């Protein structure tokens, strides 16, 4: 009996100790979010550059403070936008040579094709622009104006030829769901520069292939690092508005009481997700004031809408989201992700891509110009691209003039990068004469993600999270920084 009582007392003592420790940890996490020390004293802005930064980060001096990722879901056709291939006019209608196709993974739609693989050139004229001589099709007249601000990567490749695994791989470094997203890794490592807004914000526009919340989720790292989604209709962020008759002081008292209850649970169960819950309630309280100010465009001059296009006045459009990305960047949000759907052009590509390109051309270029004129482009890394490219051959029936489609293609595709310490006005990598395979400076998805982290001052091999006994990282066991494109 004495031994049993001793064991119980020992267990209680241990429970008390760890409970008190968890309480302190919870206070530390919350204080960090609030920009305060453990005694409630406000930390001066000059004392810490950001809130929630992991110890030892950044690993070295950063060239970029933030990222704006313009992700074009569905697979934009590099052959009709950026990657000019004059040979295609000469071999139009001929089967893509087996020597070119050899070894490339094909989608089920291509492998079942009965009429061979007839090469189809772009229906659009290409021209060189700027001092850099960058090639653009006539679909992108506004892009052409910022040619010398862009760095093209024309040698990206991926093994994935279906949307979901390819998109998931681009965003998380793994083809299956459940891993932390790129933005979540950045949020986890570098925290936020603005205690009134999330470190990671996502906006979605367009129609077509779906994008799922897990693409901006935190996977197995704490959920406080997942993105907050700004909606296009109704409340811009769900559950921020108070019910009628419930004033802001009432909300403050409610959250204080709720946090006290959550702290009691934290003391008892030591679940880190309870710490997240406390922090997120505090963030939501501050966002009740910061989000309306963020999304109110009434202070923007007419010149802003001349730059981004009139669609920027319509919430939920790609143009509006690009303008919102600039406003978020100004306010210190660390990672801003835009998903524009509508690029999956299997059939009738010439008609479909005209309207799609028109939706995004002015706003994408306008964002680069706007950041530049405000002095933000130097320390903002902007990316534009999708999960893969499109095939050089026509999909389905033989192409009629001005009517063709292109299947998914991962063997070679293009994207552009601007700002954030990347050399402007250059092209890195090269695809073959058919735009089908890479012949110079191949770039893996892990290389791209390693380079993004590098510009933020992060060594991609050292940003890890231990889960189920293994130290995971965004780039898994691969990835090299593309130093040739860095200034």
pLDDT tens digits, 328-356: 999 999 999 999 999 999 999 999 999 99
Which pLDDT does position 112 carry in this prediction?
61
Note whether 92 and 359 are within 8 A (CB).
no
Give the tokens for residue 344.
């999956």
Query: Cα angle vertex 373, ends 372, 376, to 5°?
Result: 50
What are the pLDDT digits (tens) for 351-401? 999 999 999 999 999 999 999 999 999 999 999 999 999 999 998 766 666
Query: Backbone dihedral region of 216: left (phi > 0), alpha (psi from -120 to 50 degrees) or beta?
Result: alpha
Give the tokens for residue 399.
């192409």
Give the tokens for residue 314.
């319509």
Which pLDDT does position 259 carry in this prediction?
78
Strand 150-156 versus strand 413-418 pairing type: antiparallel
Taking the C-alpha atoms of residue 442 and residue 135, their distance in angstroms, rounded to an integer, is 19
What are phi and psi for residue 128, nearest 5 degrees?
-90, 145
Taking the C-alpha atoms of residue 70 and residue 73, their distance in angstroms, rounded to an integer, is 9
| Dihedral sign of CA atoms 336, 342, 346, 348 in order | negative
Measure CA of the first residue to CA of the last residue in the chain; give whole Å: 73
Q: Decide if pLDDT at 227 tops 90.
A: yes
Looking at CATH, the fold of the domain delimited by 66-233+315-485 is given as Alkaline Phosphatase, subunit A (3.40.720)
Tabulate helix, strand, coil % of the chain (nearest 5): 40, 15, 45
Note whether 348 and 354 are within 8 A (CB).
no
Strand 426-428 versus strand 150-156 pairing type: parallel
Taking the C-alpha atoms of residue 312 and residue 331, their distance in angstroms, rounded to an integer, is 19
What are the pLDDT digits (tens) for 46-72? 333 467 799 999 999 999 999 999 999
Which pLDDT does position 50 carry in this prediction?
62
Give the percent of the chain with pLDDT over 90. 68
What are the pLDDT digits (tens) for 393-417? 998 766 666 789 999 999 999 999 9
Per mean pLDDT, which range of 13-17, 130-134, 411-415 is the poorest?
A: 13-17
Which pLDDT does position 250 carry in this prediction?
65
Task: Report yes or no on whether pTM surpasses 0.75.
Answer: yes
Note whether 77 and 350 are within 8 A (CB).
no
Other beta carbons less than 10 A from residue 450's beta carbon = 23
Higher-confidence position of 210 and 424: 424
Confidence of residue 313 (pLDDT cuts 50, 70, 90): very high
Taking the C-alpha atoms of residue 46 and residue 320, their distance in angstroms, rounded to an integer, is 33
Closest CA to 68 of 312, 314, 366, 328: 328
Closest CA to 364 of 144, 83, 74: 144
- Which of 102-111, 253-262, 427-436 has the highest mean predicted lDDT (pLDDT)? 427-436
What are the residues whose beta carbons fall under 8 Å from the beta carbon of 466, sequence distance 6 or more?
472
Kindly list the domain boundaries of the chain, sorted by start residue. 66-233+315-485
Strand 380-385 versus strand 413-418 pairing type: antiparallel
| Dihedral sign of CA atoms 192, 181, 431, 82 in order | negative
Note whether 262 and 282 are within 8 A (CB).
no
């Amino acid at each position: 009996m004495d031994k049993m009582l001793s064991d119980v007392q020992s267990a209680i003592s241990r429970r008390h100790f760890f409970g008190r420790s968890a309480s302190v940890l919870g206070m530390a996490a919350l204080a960090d979010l609030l920009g305060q020390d453990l005694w409630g004293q406000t930390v001066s802005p000059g004392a810490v550059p950001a809130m929630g930064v992991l110890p030892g980060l950044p690993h070295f001096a950063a060239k970029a403070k933030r990222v704006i990722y313009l992700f074009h879901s569905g697979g934009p056709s590099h052959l009709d936008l950026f990657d000019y291939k004059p040979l295609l006019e000469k071999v139009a209608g001929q089967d893509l040579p087996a020597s070119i196709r050899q070894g490339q993974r094909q989608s089920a739609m291509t492998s079942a094709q009965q009429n061979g693989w007839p090469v189809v050139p772009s229906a659009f004229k290409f021209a060189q622009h700027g001092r850099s001589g960058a090639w653009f099709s006539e679909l992108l007249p506004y892009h052409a104006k910022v040619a010398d601000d862009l760095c093209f990567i024309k040698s990206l490749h991926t093994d994935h030829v279906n949307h979901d695994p390819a998109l998931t791989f681009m965003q998380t470094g793994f083809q299956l769901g459940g891993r932390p997203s790129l933005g979540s890794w950045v949020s986890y490592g570098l925290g936020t520069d603005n205690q009134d807004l999330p470190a990671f914000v996502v906006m979605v526009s367009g129609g077509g292939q779906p994008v799922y919340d897990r693409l901006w989720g935190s996977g197995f790292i704490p959920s406080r690092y997942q993105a907050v989604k700004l909606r296009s209709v109704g409340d811009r962020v769900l559950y921020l508005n108070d019910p009628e008759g419930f004033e802001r002081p009432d909300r403050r008292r409610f959250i204080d009481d709720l946090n006290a209850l959550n702290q009691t649970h934290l003391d008892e169960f030591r679940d880190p997700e309870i710490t997240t819950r406390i922090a997120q309630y505090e963030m939501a309280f501050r966002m009740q004031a910061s989000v309306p100010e963020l999304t109110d465009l009434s202070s923007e001059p007419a010149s802003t809408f001349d730059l981004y296009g009139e669609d920027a006045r319509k919430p939920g459009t790609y143009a509006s989201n690009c303008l919102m990305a600039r406003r978020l960047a100004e306010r210190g949000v660390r990672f801003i992700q835009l998903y524009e759907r509508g690029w999956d052009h299997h059939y009738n590509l010439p008609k479909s891509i005209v309207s799609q390109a028109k939706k995004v051309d002015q706003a994408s270029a306008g964002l680069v110009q706007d950041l530049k004129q405000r002095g933000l482009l130097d320390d903002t890394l902007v990316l534009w691209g999708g999960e893969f490219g499109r095939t050089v051959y026509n999909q389905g029936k033989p192409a009629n003039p001005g009517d063709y489609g292109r299947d998914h293609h991962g063997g070679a595709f293009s994207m552009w990068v601007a700002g954030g310490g990347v050399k402007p006005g250059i092209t890195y990598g090269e695809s073959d004469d058919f735009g089908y395979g890479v012949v110079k400076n191949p770039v893996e998805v892990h290389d791209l993600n390693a380079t993004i982290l590098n510009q933020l001052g992060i060594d991609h091999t050292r940003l890890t999270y231990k889960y189920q006994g293994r130290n995971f990282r965004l780039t898994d066991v691969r990835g090299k920084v593309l130093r040739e494109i860095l200034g």
